[in-house]
Amino acid sequence: MTPPISIALDARAALGEGPRWHAGEARLYWVDIARDELHRFDPATGRDEMRRFDAPVGCFAFRRAGGLLLAMKDGLALLDAWDSEPTPFGPQLLADRADLRFNDGRTDPAGRFWVGTVNMAKSARDAALYRVTPDGTIDLIEGDMVTCNGAAFNADGTAFCHADTPSHALRGYDVDPATGTLSGRRIFHQFETGKGRPDGGSFDAEGCYWSALFEGGRVVRLSPAGDLLQTVLLPVTRPTMIAFGGPDLRTAYVTSARAGLSDMDLAIQPHAGAIFSFPVEVPGLPEVPFAG
């Protein structure tokens, strides 16, 4: 059965991304990468607050000590409070790399932050996946990508997925939760070329992985073995990321993009850039805070 789709926030985002539910605040944080914006949305009141920075925020993580860890254009930064200014954290790896920026990431159950980069010009396969420890050490995990996306861990941290989006393939790995070491790389699911590319994703409490298919107009739920279990169609072609929120984590939130769509496209899908929501039977996972 297809769940009812609602417009949680008609944000008209250029590139809405990275929704994360803050359980303590009962707010959904998200970013508009193309506009250098960080948002926090209160579904109970409909109020959406925004902060604009001097550089794009590709993604972020909540911090155990409070505030946020931001993955920005050139590197990571700490935001101690909503209205404070970001301070650099760790090496600014991409400061001299004009085509690269940090893109998508997730914290593992041990509090380490995993973050990928994207080559915005699609000029080389020099995007990569990195692991960030609480002291700011950044380790290169895997390279040879164009757009590293969809990073997510299952509940006990023993499984990890991400994608090099243009490949249309989701990659799966086994994880040693104690050390954060990946092994057993495999193609978790290969999507058909031309029918949507895997963008942001999240695991649920049953170990199934949900993926938003950019230019595919849908989100899908995959079994722990990578089999397609459910497809949810959306009224936009460019969903970007799915995450779960609400008091019971049974509300799916899906960000979307309107950048790059023609006037004709926008006439057909006037709510492109909105945040959509729908109910799910199996709850998602709470966001683990970064331990730094």
The residues annotated as belonging to the active site are: 199
**Closest of 152, 192, 158 to residue 171, by C-alpha:** 152
Concatenated DSSP letters of 6-44: EEEE----SBEEEEEEETTTTEEEEEEGGGTEEEEEETT
Local structure of residue 263 (DSSP, 8 states): H
Return the SS3 of 264. helix
The whole-angstrom separation of Cα 108 and Cα 282 is 20
The whole-angstrom separation of Cα 144 and Cα 179 is 23
**Closest of 241, 245, 235 to residue 267, by C-alpha:** 235
Local structure of residue 167 (DSSP, 8 states): G
Return the SS3 of 197. strand
Amino acid identity, position 83: D
C-alpha distances in Å from residue 274, one per residue of 45, 234, 277: 17, 11, 10
The whole-angstrom separation of Cα 126 and Cα 137 is 20
